[in-house]
Structure 1
């Protein structure tokens, strides 16, 4: 019989292995770099909470956005929201959580009443640290055999891609799809759209990103000059654009790629062209509604995804349908990783791993 005394003993044994302080990369208002603090307090889990030992944390463009002060945040906290890890300490009332299982973290806690401003890595301490505190309801088991640096894609980047491509754009067999921006999310979107039966095209400034898109199954990859030319002369048209850049320039080119002629638009015989905006930028996007109506364009936005989408993302990774291109680095190199992301020097995903004692390595 498993009783309270036994549970208490187990918690004490688990707790004994956790130090009082840890290395953490802290966001401080007005600082465009994270502050590495080797003595950041390790939190203690309360009712229903789990202290997770971080196995990997993905580096996201939204982190770059926060550090740019495009939208200043007055709070101080640990950044990082794409997290997988193993439980190190269980709070009271936590059940059916294994300390040997790798879990992914759903950053939007179902019980959170203010998710737009207070989520893990945005207001609440995140995963650029050795440990992170989460609610049990945020934990989802990672399929056996997935390495942490690959599994972490299922917690945000592929989760976001799945929602945008499968749920919002509803890409299906026979569609012509343009993936605009073949970065950490876009290169996974190329694979997913291809898996769903679409003919996939790609656009990116960087030759290495365009080559990655072709390697992953894209029919053609455009630089922006070539994309401008083929959309201007009417020789290129797609059903859907998934825009992972979301700048004024990308939006104009996306509209050109899905636009129908005036007569086609009013005829109402063609399926509306879709633009799905996924990227975060400081640009203001503008359009006249009459232009969208006349050219039969529908514009959608997409952000993150649901618990079911996380499960789908993990399944796609486990089955090898999606193979993220990942570069790993030690947590101590987080600012270097963020600088590389800012400079568009990362092909695919960048992931930091606490305790990794090596230089950056690419894995697929």
Structure 2
């Protein structure tokens, strides 16, 4: 039976978000309804509010979420009510050219729910990244639900749904960071910090964190950075070379996504080294380089989409590492907040004050020592 629940929408460009009543239909074929326990506040949600992703308002915001499957539709296999899941926005189709070539992490035809959630007047909502999880219960494609160990705390586990996975995957999957490699990460927000944690997990011997703020660099050190560079006072290219015997790191990850930071990555890496772009540029940004430099420096210039992850492969593995104490997902949860505090969380994102604010919708999932609105 269709349900009415509370959720957070952006009704128009740059307008304050609204907590409203939303109609959630019963799951149809291939769909599932998930009770959301926690959902991270990501920069992508702010981009939706700003109209930077599209103008298909109103948007149902939120996408970095973990929760419990409440019901499933016809034809759904390997998923049932009561399953603990992380939501993902890459529900692979299995039939597109990328999937047929054995590269499902590039799936070009990912699934979303067919039915629409609506406002009480019938207005259809556009769910952020096909998920929409600042809501008590959400409707998704069953393939967007990845089962993981229920011992994992929802506020931490849900972050694998987007930003943390993007950073970890940029290092491990796209950059192929291996034991003994040297790595530099430009930009130490949530995604860059995750790339540092991923590089450490992969066994990198030297991890250089580069940012404009000492506070972020201190956090980077706690997550595995062996060296830090404040680029307000030091040329980051020169610093990368100086810290690697004059050569430059094997892998440089640009978690900012601006022409100047990408050029720093390009010229700062070692010969035949790898550049990974995981920060998202705006449509207006361009880069101009001498083609001879592209040829002469060799190596690989890569973009990382969602950390080139395959959720069914990567999420359970990373949650196991978290539960073993080898992946510090809790360190990314700066604060736990209520569903009515999303706009305040956006202001903290703008100010670079948090790695992640996490909306907790199920109080039983909150960390016992978490205080709403304060650093956790």
CA RMSD after TM alignment: 2.7
Select which of 61, 64, 68 maps to 1:86.
68
- Quick check: 1:47 aligned with 2:58? no
Q: Where do 5+ consecutive residues of structure 2 fail to align?
A: 97-107, 114-125
Change (3 A) 1:241 1:190: same
Give the Cα separation in 2 of the matches to 1:285 and 1:350: 32
User: Quick check: 2:236–2:268 contact (8 Å CA) kept in 1?
Assistant: no
Change (3 A) 1:116 1:60: farther
User: Quick check: 2:163–2:191 contact (8 Å CA) kept in 1?
Assistant: yes
- Deviation track 1:75-96 (CA, whole Å, cap 9, x = no partner) reads 3231212121112233334455
User: Quick check: 1:77–1:124 contact (8 Å CA) kept in 2?
Assistant: no
Change (3 A) 1:123 1:188: closer
Correspondence for 1:204: 211
Correspondence for 1:252: 263
Aligned residue for 1:185, secondary structure, equals helix
TM-score by length of 1: 0.82
User: Quick check: 1:240–1:274 contact (8 Å CA) kept in 2?
Assistant: yes
Aligned residue for 2:68, secondary structure, equals strand
Select which of 188, 193, 211 maps to 2:199.
193
- Shift in Å at residue 227 of structure 1? 4.2
- Quick check: 1:296 aligned with 2:298? yes
Larger radius of gyration: 1
Correspondence for 1:359: 372
Give the Cα separation in 1 of the matches to 2:239 and 2:73: 60
Aligned residue for 2:235, secondary structure, equals helix
User: Quick check: 1:21–1:42 contact (8 Å CA) kept in 2?
Assistant: yes
- Shift in Å at residue 230 of structure 1? 5.8
Give the Cα separation in 2 of the matches to 1:116 and 1:94: 16
TM-score by length of 2: 0.80
- Shift in Å at residue 27 of structure 1? 2.5
Correspondence for 1:73: 55
Change (3 A) 1:220 1:159: same
Select which of 8, 22, 29 maps to 1:25.
8
Give the Cα separation in 2 of the matches to 1:70 and 1:351: 22
- Deviation track 1:158-215 (CA, whole Å, cap 9, x = no partner) reads 3223331112111011211001111112222212211212111101122211001112
Matches within 5 A, 1:118-197: 121-122=127-128, 124=130, 126-197=132-203
Change (3 A) 1:29 1:290: farther
Select which of 318, 322, 343 maps to 1:313.
318
Change (3 A) 1:342 1:233: closer
Q: Where do 5+ consecutive residues of structure 1 fail to align?
A: 1-14, 261-271
Aligned residue for 1:322, secondary structure, equals coil
Matches within 5 A, 1:199-238: 199-228=206-235, 231=238, 235-236=242-243, 237-238=248-249
Give the Cα separation in 1 of the matches to 2:110 and 2:71: 28
- Shift in Å at residue 147 of structure 1? 0.5
| Between 292-301 and 242-251, the greater mean CA deviation after superposition | 292-301
Change (3 A) 1:197 1:226: farther
- Shift in Å at residue 232 of structure 1? 7.4
Aligned residue for 2:207, secondary structure, equals strand
Number of equivalences: 333
Give the Cα separation in 1 of the matches to 2:193 and 2:58: 32
Give the Cα separation in 2 of the matches to 1:285 and 1:88: 46
